Amino acid sequence: MDSIKREEDLNKLIAFKDKQIIKIITGIRRCGKSTLMEMFIDYLKNNGVKDDQIIFLNLEDYDNKGLREPDALHKYIKERLLTNKMTYILIDEVQQCKEFPEVIDSLFIKKNTDIYLTGSNAIMLSSEIATMLSGRYVEISMLPLSFKEYASATDSKQSLSEKYRDYVEKGTFPYILQLKDQPKEIHDYLDSLFNTIIVKDIATRKKLTDIMMLESVVRFVYDNIGNQLSTKKIADTMTSDGRKIDAKTVEKYLEALISSFAVYKAERYNVRGKQRLKTLEKYYAADIGLRYTLLGSQSTDVGRILENIIYLELLRRGNEVYVGKIDELEVDFVAIYEKRPVYYQVAATVRDSNTLERELAPLRKINDHYQKFILTLDDDPEADYNGIRRINALDWLIGKIY
């Protein structure tokens, strides 16, 4: 664990240090939010901040159960604020406090406070909270380990492709690295983590009673990563498979899965019209290891798994990510950063000429001058097709090629 450097996430926090804005770190349970807080505390101490300037609380810790009450939390922190220098307030899993927005708002308006929060569900940023803290917070979305982070923390003797295979099969949660060469323990850990997310973060919080049906929806979505889906299509398919469910219930369960960061939704985007489309979204898993644990080795579509990993990496790099539509063809991803799009096609291999032509076709239809890529697992020299670059996906994932 010590060897994992979450530098990109840490640098985001450092960039906002001492700025008059609340920093909210969100992400799936066990993706490394608490560790990021600890790394930031180390950074503060290494840069002259004294212990009495730092208040760190984990509200999931039973020792802090009494501080889940808003009055108690406010009193505890207020008594420790310093008047003549900055106090850094870091609260892990802040949503455990029932009325935390009021507490945070009160602390925020005091002089010399710098506030950092984490949470494992998007209820933290629901409309009421967004209204109360409007314009006063920035969300820092955190994902499990990137392939670059995973590769840098694992055996240097392994090839990139060997590391990628482990990354896909074992999962991307930081704790997995402590269970190296212990496949049963890894499976048990991921299984336990999945059950905690489903029961604690979703069913209990959303008051969902049919946990088996919720699991069925997760299985369906995880089994269909990269496929265009609608709530009606999911409901109809599950019902025909013997799990009777209506579209409204599917929608409720999907919203719950997205709010716990177990599933991510990519909306479609009309490339010609430069506008979002409201139908047939795609869904991606927060971690392929969780998917592997849930579905087993029978669901190992190499291309769709790569697509899932590329999607998450594009999010990590700060993009808005959409599925592109150009006439009747589809572009796997339109990644927009500072209003500039970059277009990506993702395929396990394009060594077959027909496959290559199929992947090139939608990109050729786009007549702007922004970058266009085909990312594949083929270990071949880079190629260029009239401005469309075909590159190795693993090199791209580790930042060797941009």
Retrieve residue 46's tokens: 């290494």
64: domain range?
Answer: 7-141
CATH number at residue 126: 3.40.50.300
For residues 135 and 38, membership in a common domain is answered with yes
1 within a domain of the structure (yes/no): no
Per-residue pLDDT, averaged over 236-246, amounts to: 94
Of 141, 161, 193, the last residue of a domain is 141
117 within a domain of the structure (yes/no): yes
Q: Is 84 exposed, middle or buried (0-12, 13-18, 19+ CB in 10 A)?
A: exposed
For residues 156 and 132, membership in a common domain is answered with no
SS3 140: strand
Of 141, 161, 183, the last residue of a domain is 141
Name the residue among 315, 319, 388 with its Cα closest to residue 347. Answer: 388
SS3 4: coil
How far apart, in whole angstroms, are the C-alpha atoms of residue 117 and residue 130? 14
- What secondary structure letter does DSSP report for 110? S
Place of tokens 């083929």: 378
Confidence of residue 279 (pLDDT cuts 50, 70, 90): confident
Q: How many domains does the chain have?
A: 2
State the pLDDT at residue 4. Answer: 80
How far apart, in whole angstroms, are the C-alpha atoms of residue 325 and residue 333? 9
Per-residue pLDDT, averaged over 189-213, amounts to: 90
388 within a domain of the structure (yes/no): yes
192 within a domain of the structure (yes/no): yes
- What secondary structure letter does DSSP report for 203? I
State the pLDDT at residue 35. Answer: 94
Q: What is the mean pLDDT of the chain?
A: 93
Name the residue among 142, 188, 166 with its Cα closest to residue 32. Answer: 142
Residue 346: phi and psi, rounded to 5, are -125, 130
State the pLDDT at residue 69. Answer: 97
For residues 346 and 371, membership in a common domain is answered with yes
For residues 112 and 180, membership in a common domain is answered with no
pLDDT in tens, 34-72: 999 999 999 999 999 999 999 999 999 999 999 999 999
For residues 200 and 272, membership in a common domain is answered with yes
How far apart, in whole angstroms, are the C-alpha atoms of residue 310 and residue 14? 26
How far apart, in whole angstroms, are the C-alpha atoms of residue 295 and residue 216? 11
For residues 221 and 302, membership in a common domain is answered with yes
For residues 128 and 167, membership in a common domain is answered with no
Share of the chain above pLDDT 70, in %: 96
- What secondary structure letter does DSSP report for 53? G
Per-residue pLDDT, averaged over 5-28, amounts to: 93
Q: Strands 54-58, 87-92: parallel, antiparallel or unpaired by DSSP?
A: parallel
Q: 200 near 120, Cβ under 8 Å?
A: no
For residues 227 and 115, membership in a common domain is answered with no
Q: Inform me whether the pLDDT recorded for 233 exceeds 80.
A: yes
Of 141, 174, 190, the last residue of a domain is 141
How far apart, in whole angstroms, are the C-alpha atoms of residue 295 and residue 155? 27
Q: Strands 340-347, 329-337: parallel, antiparallel or unpaired by DSSP?
A: antiparallel
Place of tokens 């996430």: 9
310 within a domain of the structure (yes/no): yes
For residues 76 and 109, membership in a common domain is answered with yes
CA 132 to chain centre: 25
402 within a domain of the structure (yes/no): no
Q: 321 near 335, Cβ under 8 Å?
A: yes
Q: Which residues of 110-127 are buried (b: 16+ CB within 10 A; e: fewer)?
A: eeebbbbbbbbbbbbbee
Q: Inform me whether the pLDDT recorded for 173 exceeds 70.
A: yes
How far apart, in whole angstroms, are the C-alpha atoms of residue 43 and residue 331? 41
288 within a domain of the structure (yes/no): yes
pTM of the complete model:
0.94
For residues 133 and 282, membership in a common domain is answered with no
For residues 135 and 178, membership in a common domain is answered with no
H or E stretch at 74: helix 70-78
SS3 317: coil
- What secondary structure letter does DSSP report for 353? H
| First CA to last CA distance, the chain | 28
324 within a domain of the structure (yes/no): yes
State the pLDDT at residue 2. Answer: 47
Q: 97 near 103, Cβ under 8 Å?
A: yes
For residues 131 and 272, membership in a common domain is answered with no
Per-residue pLDDT, averaged over 130-137, amounts to: 78
Q: 42 near 5, Cβ under 8 Å?
A: no
Report CA-CA distances (Å) from 388 to 119, 342, 369, 373, 383.
40, 11, 10, 6, 8
State the pLDDT at residue 296. Answer: 85
Q: 283 near 308, Cβ under 8 Å?
A: no
How far apart, in whole angstroms, are the C-alpha atoms of residue 66 and residue 73? 8
